[in-house]
């Protein structure tokens, strides 16, 4: 399957905001936080992007590779490695592992690059270089008049044909740039760790979806953001709205804002979320969650679960869309699989939100829950809205801190999860295109008032 | 000249509440009122961290996320500033201003009174001494309620800069904290960790080679208190790396870690900060840093926040770190360790 790849690199933007002092030119290695490509192969062998994705160019592992996904042998395909912006760059050196170097057999079976054009962005300087048809590392260098470097693009011009497959492969690329901007090794190291974490999550997802278990997974293999909807033009951010407020005030502000911006099909769920928040959850009763299925939903690409860490620094996903159910709990996707037991001696919601309940002082996080239910035709109580507050000790750089992170979940008439809301996000879930799985939706990031659609992608049949 | 009429505890309630100025005309509360007759002092104050106590990006970032009333008691201490917290206002934006220390009950408080002063002035030799600074720079971990207001203080120090000073070699300096922090011509710049000159004065950083190892030494050679001190998030990072192998970087953390207490508040459980006159040494095998033979880089970095590289939405709009010392050298060119 062919598709264009675009992943945001928030860390890069932050690096640009850090103090940068002039220094003598020095060659340093740069680790991209992610890699874009014109295409990559996506089939049943890498349903969860456990290989072939352009990010595997920079994981340092010859057993993985970027495998292009276009028709033909790969001429014209490209990858773009976004880098920490550097000033005064005078040389770019690349170390390349050509082809698929998992084994000598696979190296020969797949296509390798014969000539590539290296383009230095944003200036656009180019140099065509020849690559050897050999395993191992080979060096490519591009000398430059001093200029800014933000990305390196490699475009494949000619290939060595594979003996079995048409697909063009590159196993690894390392980037070294000689420039004057201050070296920031911890930042580069963090980006490599981000790639490694992403890779580990992809492998975990592949394992979790293996076999029969995958059939009951309520999520697809991957989600992708669409373009942000236009700003409304009015200044708004959740922190300003809730000056001296708390997490529940911010949650209420977020759902009210989402109600103004979301597509009409989500208004019903949002009206109930607004009503619950405005009523301070007074109609909710404390419950204990008793899920029949205690599995966790893996971190699939493009969708990330709320977690306790968000309480320390605010809701955040390095990639993807905020707001999957708390801590990846599978049971929270469907009210009909979500068992609840009413609790008599529950701590007050205010104490839990303030992380003052006894369980909030423990290393193992605890979920407190409050629910509002309605009886169905058979007299069975079905959860309509659920407020989950996860609390416990979170590890910060300075030590463990008791924190609490709330999430409101709203269920549709069919019992499927319709919306989640936290203190700076609202996510609305569509199930209409893929019964049994979230097919997409919309999400609000309260800071900056960004509103994004997102949708599921599925790999096609194996080659 | 009036004798000292009120105690220090009344001047600074130690974070238990706002600073009350009693029966003071509102016109005396803004720093603007002082500028005409005290231009040097005002100019220095205006560029100081005191003047940015409320507006600085690092504080505002934390306060917006967790707007605790207790924080306001030292970041905008005057009662009249507290009244502007919800709406904003010019007095609030002055942070720790002249009146915070100098005005009570319509009178000026100072160490001395100028002969030509028109003010009704209360003089006190201890004014501006460590106890004064301790009004906001010395306190224990608090237990806060849901609004972030103080319920009680624990016995465990949270910021102990004055106690550190009193245990250090400068404790008998008659100028006290002012000896270093009010040494500017106008005596009101109060530079601290955000001033690179103060960091250079406080910290020494040496690198040498011992066989197949490099040895980094960090020393507090100039500060009269621990470094880092003050805010709990501050820390130092001593780093060694080859620019061509950042993933193999060695990093030493000098700072504090905390643990919540069963009865509320927190306690410091680990502290690798540098008391006055102390040093810490780190020995790093060269092979650990990658073996391509390229130059080595060394750096001592002061980080003001828990997050050195703030992520999206968390950028405070001011530097979160500052490089104090840096050095680049081939391993062969490093001086041998004695």
Residue B4 in this model has a pLDDT that exceeds 60: no
> How high is the pLDDT of residue B220?
98
CA A369 to chain CA mean position, Å: 26
Residues of B in contact with A239 (CB under 8 A): 64-65
% of residues, chain A, pLDDT over 90: 56
pLDDT digits (tens, 9 = 90+) for B191-230: 999 999 999 999 999 999 999 999 999 999 999 999 999 9
What average pLDDT does the segment B68-74 reach? 92
Q: Which of A409-418, A427-436, B109-118 has the lowest mean pLDDT?
A: A427-436
> How high is the pLDDT of residue B260?
84
Instruction: Give the chain A residue nearest B148 (alpha carbons).
Output: A244
Q: Which of B306, B309, B328 sits opposite A26 (nearest CB)?
A: B328
φ, ψ for residue B286 (rounded to 5)?
-60, -35
Report the distance separating Cα A62 and Cα B34, nearest Å: 69
Q: Which of A190, A192, A447 sits opposite B313 (nearest CB)?
A: A447
- A183:B243 CB<8 A: yes
| B155: its two tokens | 């016995």
Strand, helix or coil for residue B41: helix
**Which domains occur in chain A, in start order?**
10-206 (2.60.120.260), 212-457 (no CATH)
pLDDT digits (tens, 9 = 90+) for B221-263: 999 999 999 999 999 999 999 999 999 999 999 999 988 888 7
Residue B49 in this model has a pLDDT that exceeds 70: yes
> How high is the pLDDT of residue A387?
97
Residue A339 in this model has a pLDDT that exceeds 60: yes
Of the two residues B7 and B281, the one the predictor is more confident about is B281
| Maximum C-alpha span of chain A | 77
Closest CA to A442 of A410, A419, A458: A419
- B295:A447 CB<8 A: no
Q: How confident is the model at residue A245 (pLDDT cuts 50, 70, 90)?
A: low
What average pLDDT does the segment A364-388 reach? 92
Q: Which of A243-247, A329-333, B275-279 has the lowest mean pLDDT?
A: A243-247
Closest CA to B93 of B50, B35, B147: B50
Residues of A in contact with B249 (CB under 8 A): 185-186, 189
> How high is the pLDDT of residue B228?
98
- B262:A361 CB<8 A: yes
C-alpha distances in angstroms, B113 versus A51, A390, B118, B132, B168? 76, 58, 10, 18, 31
pLDDT digits (tens, 9 = 90+) for A87-117: 999 999 999 999 999 999 999 999 999 999 9
Residue B2 in this model has a pLDDT that exceeds 60: no
Of the two residues A294 and A123, the one the predictor is more confident about is A123
What is the average pLDDT score of chain B? 92
Residue A434 in this model has a pLDDT that exceeds 80: no
- B243:A190 CB<8 A: no
Q: How far is B314 from chain A (nearest CA, A)?
A: 8
- A29:B312 CB<8 A: no
| A393: its two tokens | 């000790």
pLDDT digits (tens, 9 = 90+) for B97-115: 999 999 999 999 999 998 9
Q: How confident is the model at residue A239 (pLDDT cuts 50, 70, 90)?
A: low
- A188:B246 CB<8 A: yes
Residues of A in contact with B251 (CB under 8 A): 186
Q: How far is A376 from chain B (nearest CA, A)?
A: 38
Q: How far is B23 from chain A (nearest CA, A)?
A: 29
CB A426 within 8 A of CB A251: no
Residue A3 in this model has a pLDDT that exceeds 50: no
pLDDT digits (tens, 9 = 90+) for A133-179: 999 999 999 999 999 999 999 999 999 999 999 999 999 999 999 99
Q: Which helix (H) or strand (E) holds A277?
A: helix A267-278
Q: How far is A164 from chain B (nearest CA, A)?
A: 36
Q: Which helix (H) or strand (E) holds A155?
A: strand A137-160
What average pLDDT does the segment A368-386 reach? 91
Q: How far is B72 from chain A (nearest CA, A)?
A: 12
Q: What is the DSSP code string of B53-118?
A: TTT-HHHHHHHHHS--HHHHHHHS-BHHHHTTTTT--HHHHT-S-HHHHHEETTEEEESS--TT--
Q: How confident is the model at residue A294 (pLDDT cuts 50, 70, 90)?
A: confident
> How high is the pLDDT of residue A13?
31
- B249:A185 CB<8 A: yes
Residues of B in contact with A26 (CB under 8 A): 243, 295, 297, 328
> How high is the pLDDT of residue A4?
32
Report the distance separating Cα A222 and Cα A5, nearest Å: 12
Closest CA to A416 of A391, A441, A388: A441
Report the distance separating Cα B107 and Cα B113, nearest Å: 12
Q: Tell me the sheet residues that pair with B240.
A: B250, B298
Instruction: Give the chain A residue nearest B305 (alpha carbons).
Output: A397
Residues of B in contact with A27 (CB under 8 A): 243-244, 294
C-alpha distances in angstroms, A269 versus A272, A273, A329, B23, B101? 5, 6, 20, 55, 54
Q: Which of A16-30, A285-299, B20-34, B123-137 has the lowest mean pLDDT?
A: A16-30
> How high is the pLDDT of residue A386?
97
Q: Which of A24, A28, A182 sits opposite B244 (nearest CB)?
A: A28
Report the distance separating Cα A306 and Cα A304, nearest Å: 7
Beta strands per DSSP E along chain B: 103-104, 107-110, 121-123, 138-144, 150-160, 203-210, 213-220, 235-241, 250-254, 256-260, 266-271, 279-285, 296-303, 321-329
Closest CA to B188 of B35, B30, B77, B305: B35
> How high is the pLDDT of residue A319?
67
Residue A460 in this model has a pLDDT that exceeds 90: no
Q: How far is B272 from chain A (nearest CA, A)?
A: 12
Report the distance separating Cα A178 and Cα A182, nearest Å: 11
What average pLDDT does the segment B308-333 reach? 92
Sheet containing B279-285: give its strands across: B203-210, B213-220, B279-285
> How high is the pLDDT of residue B105?
92
Q: Which of A5-9, B109-113, B179-183, B306-310 has the lowest mean pLDDT?
A: A5-9
> How high is the pLDDT of residue A9?
29
**Which domains occur in chain B, in start order?**
8-181 (no CATH), 196-333 (2.60.40.10)
Q: Which of B67, B247, B328 sits opposite A192 (nearest CB)?
A: B247
> How high is the pLDDT of residue A447?
67
CB A112 within 8 A of CB A169: yes
Instruction: Give the chain A residue nearest B149 (alpha carbons).
Output: A244
Residue B115 class from Cβ within 10 Å (0-12 exposed, 13-18 middle, 19+ buried)?
exposed
Instruction: Give the chain A residue nearest B144 (alpha carbons).
Output: A354
C-alpha distances in angstroms, A324 versus A16, B64, B267? 30, 25, 35
ipTM for the complex shown: 0.87
C-alpha distances in angstroms, B103 versus A134, B23, B44, B107? 79, 10, 18, 6
CB B330 within 8 A of CB B209: no
pTM over 0.90: no
């Amino acid at each position: 399957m062919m598709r264009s790849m675009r992943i945001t690199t928030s860390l890069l933007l932050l690096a640009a905001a850090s103090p940068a002092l002039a220094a003598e030119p020095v060659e340093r290695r740069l680790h991209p936080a992610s890699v874009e490509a014109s295409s990559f192969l996506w089939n049943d062998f890498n349903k969860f992007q456990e290989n072939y994705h352009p990010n595997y160019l920079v994981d340092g592992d010859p057993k993985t590779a970027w495998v292009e996904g276009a028709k033909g042998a790969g001429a014209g395909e490209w990858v773009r490695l976004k880098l920490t912006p550097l000033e005064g760059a005078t040389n770019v050196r690349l170390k390349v592992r050509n082809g698929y170097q998992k084994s000598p057999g696979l190296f020969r079976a797949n296509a390798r690059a014969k000539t590539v054009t290296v383009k230095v962005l944003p200036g656009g300087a180019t140099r065509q270089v020849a690559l050897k048809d050999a395993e191992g590392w080979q060096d490519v260098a591009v000398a430059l008049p001093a200029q800014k470097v933000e990305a390196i693009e490699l475009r494949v011009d000619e290939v060595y044909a594979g003996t079995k497959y048409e697909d063009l492969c590159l196993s690894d690329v390392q980037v070294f740039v000689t420039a004057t901007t201050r070296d920031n090794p911890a930042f580069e190291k963090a980006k490599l760790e981000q790639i490694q974490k992403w890779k580990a999550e992809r492998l975990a997802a592949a394992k979790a979806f293996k076999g029969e278990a995958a059939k009951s997974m309520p999520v697809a293999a991957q989600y992708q953001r669409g373009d942000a909807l236009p700003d409304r033009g009015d200044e708004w951010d959740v922190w300003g709205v809730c000056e001296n407020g708390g997490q529940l005030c911010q949650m209420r502000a977020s759902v009210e804002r989402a109600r103004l911006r979301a597509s009409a099909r989500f208004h019903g769920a949002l009206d109930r979320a607004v009503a619950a928040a405005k009523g301070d959850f007074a109609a909710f009763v404390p419950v204990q969650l008793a899920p029949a299925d205690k599995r966790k939903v893996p971190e699939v690409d493009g969708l990330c679960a709320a977690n306790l860490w968000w309480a320390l620094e605010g809701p955040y996903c390095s990639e993807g869309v905020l707001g999957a159910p708390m801590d990846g709990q599978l049971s929270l996707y469907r009210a009909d699989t979500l068992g609840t037991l009413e609790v008599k001696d529950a701590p007050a919601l205010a104490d839990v939100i303030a992380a003052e309940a006894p369980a909030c002082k423990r290393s193992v996080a605890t979920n407190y829950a409050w629910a509002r239910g309605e009886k169905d035709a058979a007299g069975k109580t079905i959860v309509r809205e659920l407020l989950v507050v996860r609390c416990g000790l979170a590890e910060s750089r300075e030590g463990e801190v008791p924190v609490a992170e709330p999430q409101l979940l709203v269920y549709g008439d069919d019992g499927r999860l319709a919306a989640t809301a936290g203190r700076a996000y609202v996510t609305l879930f569509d199930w209409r295109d893929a019964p049994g799985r979230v097919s997409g939706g919309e999400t609000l990031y309260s800071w900056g008032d960004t509103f994004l659609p997102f949708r599921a992608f599925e790999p096609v049949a194996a080659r | 000249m009036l004798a000292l009429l009120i105690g220090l505890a009344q001047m600074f309630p130690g974070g238990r509440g706002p600073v009350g100025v009693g029966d003071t005309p509102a016109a005396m509360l803004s720093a603007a009122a002082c500028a005409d007759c005290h231009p040097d002092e005002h100019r220095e104050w205006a560029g100081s961290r005191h003047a940015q106590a409320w507006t600085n990006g690092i504080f505002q970032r934390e306060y917006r996320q967790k707007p605790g009333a207790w924080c306001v008691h030292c970041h905008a201490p005057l009662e009249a500033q507290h009244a502007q917290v919800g709406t904003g206002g010019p007095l609030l934006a002055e942070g720790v201003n002249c009146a915070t220390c100098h005005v009570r009950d319509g009178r000026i408080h100072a160490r001395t009174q100028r002969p030509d002063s028109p003010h009704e002035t209360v003089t006190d030799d201890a004014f501006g001494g460590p106890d004064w600074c301790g009004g906001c720079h010395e306190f224990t971990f608090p237990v806060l309620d849901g609004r972030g207001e103080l319920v009680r203080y624990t016995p465990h120090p949270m910021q102990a800069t004055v106690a550190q000073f009193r245990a250090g070699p400068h404790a008998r300096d008659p100028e006290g904290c002012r000896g270093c922090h009010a040494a500017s011509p106008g005596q009101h710049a109060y530079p601290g960790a955000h001033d690179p000159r103060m960091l250079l004065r406080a910290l020494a950083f040496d690198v040498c080679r011992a066989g197949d190892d490099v040895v980094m030494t960090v020393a507090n050679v100039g500060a009269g208190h621990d470094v880092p001190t003050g805010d709990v998030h501050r820390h130092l990072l001593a780093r060694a790396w080859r620019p061509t192998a950042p993933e193999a970087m060695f990093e030493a953390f000098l700072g504090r870690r905390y643990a919540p207490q069963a009865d509320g508040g927190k306690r410091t459980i680990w502290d690798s900060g540098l008391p006055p006159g102390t040093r810490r040494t780190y020995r790093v095998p060269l092979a650990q840093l990658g073996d391509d033979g390229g130059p080595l880089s060394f750096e001592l970095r002061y980080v003001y926040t828990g997050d050195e590289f703030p992520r999206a939405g968390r950028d405070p709009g001011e530097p979160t770190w500052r490089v104090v010392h840096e050095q680049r050298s081939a391993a062969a060119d490093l001086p041998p360790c004695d």
